[in-house]
């Protein structure tokens, strides 16, 4: 194959410019990313070799090798991993197909990349960090059964491909360092950087140096392992320093922050495994934007990396958890698909979920402020478990925090605390979902409960309206939305209903989208409200879906009127005096419009509402 020059995709040019100009103060991450990629390449070929031994070709002395050449100004990193074919090279190094570049660029525009260098790892674009320190990058690579390929680029718009003589499977990356990056040729700099980022890797990282024999003055090469190669999850907890946990977490997650909590334990009994899990302090940038509902723990079997794509190792609502699971009882010589169906994984999953939920509960009890911060970041994800993890539904519910009608804005309470503060005659946990606290704290739906001194939970997370009804009850107390369902006030309103009978029939016939008009004791200060069925969506959720272009099912609501309100009494009197009075008709429609607005929905015809209101104001 003759040498061929190819253009980078436009997005990749933007990426290279962004990385090389924005991450200057964090340049050492290039070495972390290249070593991490090399480690992944070894893991891939080891797993491939379990079912296809010819992939290994006796090249199983697993290691990652670094070599600095001060005279040439080059830093070289080699691995004997899976390597790449020509198509792999084009796809992985020259296009955006698997690099996550588009997502990276979109997110980098929102975040300050200088303060968030972890983005390059989260979006799988870490290889390109090489151009922070190198004027030119050369990649020599060979995959099993393929010709060896050389990829060369200066990171300025194009790259070249050429066939080369290389017999061993694996990849060698040569960085021609910039003048201001020659520090990475320094032996101490290389050692300290590897120690900081890659000390715990399963595979050895070695450094080849040239030393002059003092007696013969002959230069000789010396190869030395510079990482401890101790899988941190296999070590006793009492031997591990907090900073070691932090560095391993950062390697695993590409997060620059320390984890909020570390869970390290050995499970023994029916199923034996070791787990090292981390609860992040902040929500990862890509968590809510990559449309991936799965959790991604790294699964090892007897220290052999298998995959982080097992759907049943951890449920999706815990996908913010990072970590490693190393099982000793799972079979190695099977495919990932067969291993995925192994019943032992379900036992591991249950054990992990129980331990994570227990740890979160302990944080809530011991440090409520810390837990509140975690809930702010991950509460929405936890709530997903209410509709997907029925066996742990109450444990999840016990972790949720909500604002309350009896507390100051921003102050949170739990369902357990709510029950503790309930009066003896209250049978239900009352809540109201809405777009924001300001909107619902003054809602007409709360008037009766405020007057009676009853607490109502205020739920402002969009997911609340979908998942809280599925909780149904907590510790024997049913949950009730105060803007849905009927009130038991028939006896209290028996006399008023006789007086309003004619007007109620008139209003029901007049108003669109109303299936019933009735009197209520629900209100104290407001004239009217709209009430939905127990299973209808709240109006603010319907409005949100409309803005997103989603179909909203049509349904009719109940218009409830406050017979103690002067406006309702006035309209009823007008209708009783003259059933055809146009003012009675206009005021009835205004009552309905007010109820729509108070519910959090929008009027279908705001202009008609304004016209009716102006006409009435002009005649009074």
CB 159 within 8 A of CB 93: yes
E strand spans, 219-368: 219-225, 261-267, 273-279, 298-301, 304-307, 322-327
- Quick one: pLDDT at residue 107? 54
For the stretch 319-360, pLDDT in tens is: 999 999 998 887 765 556 677 778 888 899 999 999 999 999
Tokens of 68: 């600095």
- Quick one: pLDDT at residue 85? 94
For the stretch 507-558, pLDDT in tens is: 999 998 899 999 998 899 999 998 887 777 677 676 667 766 777 677 788 9
- Quick one: pLDDT at residue 123? 40
Query: pLDDT below 70 — which residues of the chain?
Result: 1, 9-26, 94-125, 285-293, 303-304, 332-337, 488-490, 537, 540, 542-544, 547-548, 552, 620
CB 140 within 8 A of CB 76: no
- In the chain, ranges of CATH 3.30.565.10 domains: 4-225
- Quick one: pLDDT at residue 561? 93
- In the chain, ranges of CATH 3.30.230.80 domains: 232-375
- In the chain, ranges of CATH 1.20.120.790 domains: 491-619
pTM above the 0.75 mark?
Answer: no
What is the SS3 string spanning 153-170? ECCCCEEEEEECCCCCCE
- Quick one: pLDDT at residue 13? 64
- In the chain, ranges of CATH 3.40.50.11260 domains: 400-481
CA–CA separation, 459 vs 399, rounded Å?
15
List, in order, residues 6 or more apart from 438 with CB less than 8 Å away: none
Fold classification of 4-225 (topology level): Heat Shock Protein 90 (3.30.565)
**What is the SS3 assignment for 74?**
strand
Q: What angle do CA 402, 408, 410 make, to 5 degrees?
A: 50
**What is the SS3 assignment for 540?**
helix
Closest CA to 415 of 357, 458, 474, 459: 474
- Quick one: pLDDT at residue 9? 66
Instruction: Name the residue with tokens 């009675």.
Output: 584
Containing 433, the helix (H) or strand (E) segment is strand 428-433
Give the count of alpha carbons within 13 A of 9, CB side only: 16
Closest CA to 130 of 169, 76, 81: 76
CB 302 within 8 A of CB 274: no
Q: Is 193 exposed, middle or buried (0-12, 13-18, 19+ CB in 10 A)?
A: buried
CB 12 within 8 A of CB 100: no
First to last CA, the chain: 91
CATH number 2.30.130.30 given to 400-481:
no
Q: For 144, left (φ over 0), alpha (ψ -120 to 50), or beta? A: beta
Specify the DSSP class assigned to residue 591: H
For the stretch 185-201, pLDDT in tens is: 999 999 998 887 777 77
List, in order, residues 6 or more apart from 31 with CB less than 8 Å away: 77, 184, 190, 193, 194, 197
Fold classification of 491-619 (topology level): 1.20.120
CA–CA separation, 135 vs 180, rounded Å?
11
CA–CA separation, 55 vs 219, rounded Å?
36
Q: Is 5 exposed, middle or buried (0-12, 13-18, 19+ CB in 10 A)?
A: exposed
CA–CA separation, 331 vs 338, rounded Å?
10
The pair phi, psi for residue 517, each rounded to 5°, is -120, 135
Fold classification of 232-375 (topology level): Ribosomal Protein S5; domain 2 (3.30.230)
CB 359 within 8 A of CB 279: yes
Tokens of 54: 């010819």
CA–CA separation, 345 vs 42, rounded Å?
24
Closest CA to 202 of 42, 359, 77, 87: 42
């Amino acid at each position: 194959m003759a040498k061929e020059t190819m253009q980078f995709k436009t997005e990749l040019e933007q990426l290279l410019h962004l990385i090389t100009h924005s991450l200057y103060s964090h340049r050492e991450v290039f070495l972390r990313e290249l070593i991490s990629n090399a480690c992944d390449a070894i893991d891939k070929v080891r797993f491939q070799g379990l079912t296809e031994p010819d992939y290994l070709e006796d090249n199983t002395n697993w290691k990652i090798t670094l070599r600095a050449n001060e005279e040439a100004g080059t830093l070289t990193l080699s691995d004997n991993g899976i390597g790449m074919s020509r198509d792999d090279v084009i796809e992985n190094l020259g296009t955006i197909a698997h690099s996550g570049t588009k997502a990276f660029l979109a997110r980098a525009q929102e975040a300050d990349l200088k303060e968030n260098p972890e983005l390059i790892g989260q979006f799988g674009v870490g290889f390109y960090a090489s151009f922070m320190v190198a004027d030119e990058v050369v990649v020599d690579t060979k995959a099993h059964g393929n010709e060896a390929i050389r990829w060369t680029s200066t990171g300025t718009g194009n790259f070249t491909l050429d066939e080369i003589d290389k017999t061993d499977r694996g990849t060698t990356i040569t960085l021609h360092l910039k003048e201001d990056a020659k520090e990475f040729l320094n032996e101490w700099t290389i050692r300290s950087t590897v120690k900081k980022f890659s000390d715990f890797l399963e595979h050895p990282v070695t450094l080849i140096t040239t030393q002059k024999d003092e007696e013969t003055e002959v230069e000789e090469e010396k190869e030395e392992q510079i990482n401890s190669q101790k899988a941190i999850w296999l070590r006793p907890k009492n031997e591990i320093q907090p900073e070691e946990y932090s560095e391993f977490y950062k390697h695993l997650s590409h997060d620059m922050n320390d984890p909020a909590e570390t869970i390290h334990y050995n499970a023994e009994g029916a199923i034996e495994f070791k787990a090292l899990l981390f609860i992040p302090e902040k929500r990862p940038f890509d968590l809510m934007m990559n449309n991936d509902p799965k959790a991604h723990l790294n699964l090892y079997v007897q220290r052999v990396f298998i995959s982080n794509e097992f759907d049943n190792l951890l449920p999706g609502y815990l996908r913010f958890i990072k970590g490693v699971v190393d099982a000793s009882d799972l079979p190695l010589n099977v495919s990932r698909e067969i291993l995925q169906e192994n019943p032992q994984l379900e036992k591991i999953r249950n054990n992990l979920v129980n331990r994570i939920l227990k740890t979160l509960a302990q944080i809530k009890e011991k440090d409520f402020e810390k837990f509140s911060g975690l809930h702010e970041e991950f509460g929405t994800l936890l709530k997903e478990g209410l509709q997907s993890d029925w066996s742990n539904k109450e444990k999840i519910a016990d972790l949720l925090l909500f604002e309350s009608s009896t507390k100051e804005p921003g102050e949170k309470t739990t369902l357990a605390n709510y029950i503790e503060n309930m009066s003896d005659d209250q049978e239900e946990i009352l809540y109201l979902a809405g777009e924001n606290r300001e909107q619902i704290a003054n809602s007409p739906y709360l008037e009766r409960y405020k007057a009676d001194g009853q607490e109502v939970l205020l739920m402002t997370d969009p997911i609340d309206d979908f998942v809280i009804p599925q909780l149904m009850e907590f510790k024997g107390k049913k949950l009730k939305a105060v803007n849905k369902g009927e009130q038991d006030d028939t006896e209290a309103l028996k006399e008023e209903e006789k007086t309003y009978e004619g007007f109620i029939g008139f209003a029901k016939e007049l108003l669109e989208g109303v299936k019933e008009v009735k009197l209520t004791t629900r209100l104290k200060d407001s004239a009217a409200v709209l009430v939905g069925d127990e299973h209808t969506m709240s109006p603010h959720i319907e409005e949100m879906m409309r803005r997103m272009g989603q179909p909203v099912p049509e349904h009719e609501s109940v218009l409830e009127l406050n017979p103690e309100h002067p406006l309702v009494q006035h309209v009823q009197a007008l209708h009783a005096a003259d059933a055809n009075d146009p003012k009675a008709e206009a005021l009835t429609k205004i009552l309905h419009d007010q109820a729509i607005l108070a519910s959090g929905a929008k009027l279908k015809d705001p202009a008609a509402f304004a016209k009716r209101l102006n006409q009435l104001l002009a005649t009074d």
